[in-house]
Amino acid sequence: MEKLQAEDARYLKRKVKGGSLDVHPTEKALIVQYELEATILGEMGDPMVGERKECQKIIRLKSLNANTDIATLARKVVEECRLIHPSKLPEVEQLLFYLLNRKKSDKREKHPPRDLAPFEGMELDEEANINRIDHYVELLYEDIPEKVRGATLILHLARNPDNLEELLQNETALGALARVLREDWKQSVDLATTIIYVFFCFSSFSQFHGQVTHYKIGALCMNIIEHELKRYDLWQDELQKKAAAYILQLKSKVT
């Protein structure tokens, strides 16, 4: 068995490609995105089968505090993590400085940290609770007003970064949101806007980009924008026709 494993290893080539850096949404930690490429080589060394996988490494910095020497810590992080190229040292320092000065979310705060412009249907008469997420998902299977309410409650949860990872684990909730957006966006602007805001909250952190891509939210948003632009052009044409007809009517009355 050991001989077989040694022979297999001889024909397996691994390549690691460093990627982007980001801060953890809730912890004092850095997230390193990287790509792992595994290639099986033939006897002559030619590649036969290859596979790529997006991975991430979390570098926790529990000792980071006001007395920490940011420059020294940044150098240590770069030296100990081979996934981070030395040229990214300034970026690491900047991210560490951000982590050090990032305000902790107040559990008693009623309003989420994100300042989003309110729109009709976004107001609520209750405070969203992560423990009631299943009930909010059930609302997404009702009529449009209930769907708007359910999506709005989930949005209020998503606006707090502390809830994002738990929401991410709830595939039923994200799947339902994506389905409702795909099927019902033409029926309600408020509904479409609310659900897009939910996924926007996830897109603010690069480690969640995979889920946004998985549900094809970007492509769906482009379809919505294209539809709205076409509808705007139709409105403009109709308005110009009515304006021209009104002018002709006025001229006929004058003459």
Same-domain check for residues 92 and 11:
yes
Domain count, the chain: 3
- What DSSP state is assigned to residue 113? S
Q: Does residue 112 fall inside a structural domain?
A: no
- Beta bridge pairs of residue 22: 31
| Residue 122 in domain | no
Domain membership of residue 77 (yes or no) is yes
Amino acid at 175: G
Residue 53 lies in a domain: yes
51 and 79 in a single domain? The answer is: yes
- Residue 196 within any structural domain of the chain: yes
Phi/psi region, residue 96 (left: phi>0; alpha: psi -120 to 50; beta: rest), is: alpha
Q: Is the domain of 211 the same as that of 151?
A: yes
User: Is residue 57 situated within a structural domain?
Assistant: yes
Q: Are residues 97 and 10 in the same domain?
A: yes
* 192 lies in the same domain as 245: no
Is the residue at 86 inside a domain? yes
Asked if residue 70 and residue 14 are part of one domain, the reply reads: yes
CA atoms of 205 and 29, how far apart (whole Å): 13
Measure CA 74 to chain center. 27
What span, in angstroms and rounded, lies between the C-alpha atoms of 138 and 121?
Answer: 18
Are 17 and 56 within one domain? Answer: yes
| Residue 144 domain-assigned (yes or no) | yes
158: containing domain: 130-215
- pTM as predicted: 0.50
Distance separating alpha carbons of residues 137 and 170, to the nearest angstrom: 10
Question: Percent of the chain, pLDDT > 70?
Answer: 79
> Could you give the 3-state DSSP secondary structure of residue 46?
coil
Six token digits for residue 131 = 């423990």
Is residue 157 a contact partner of residue 113, using CB atoms and an 8 Å limit? no
47 or 167, which is more confident? Answer: 167
Q: Tell me: do 211 and 234 sit in the same domain.
A: no
Question: CB of 54 within 8 A of CB of 35?
Answer: yes
Which residues are paired to 12 by β-bridges?
A: 40
Residue 161 CB-half CA count within 13 A: 19
Angle between helix 189-203 and helix 217-254 axes, rounded to 10 deg: 140
Same domain, 162 and 241: no
Q: Is the pLDDT of residue 121 over 90?
A: no
For residue 195, what pLDDT is reported? 93
Cβ(178)–Cβ(196) under 8 Å?
no
Report the distance separating Cα 114 and Cα 133, nearest Å: 20
Distance (Å, rounded) from C-alpha 165 to C-alpha 90?
28
Q: Which helix (H) or strand (E) holds 1?
A: none
Give per-residue pLDDT as tens, 59-94.
Answer: 888 888 888 899 999 999 999 888 888 888 988 888
pLDDT band at 48 (very low <50, low <70, confident <90, very high): low
The length of the chain, given as a count of residues: 255
- Is residue 33 within 8 Å of residue 22, measured between CB atoms? yes
At residue 107, the pLDDT reads: 37
Residues 148, 86 share a domain: no
Q: Are residues 196 and 237 in the same domain?
A: no
Question: 210 near 171, Cβ under 8 Å?
Answer: no
Token readout for 92 is: 């690491």
Q: Which residue has the tokens 């769907």?
A: 147
Section 117-132 average pLDDT: 68
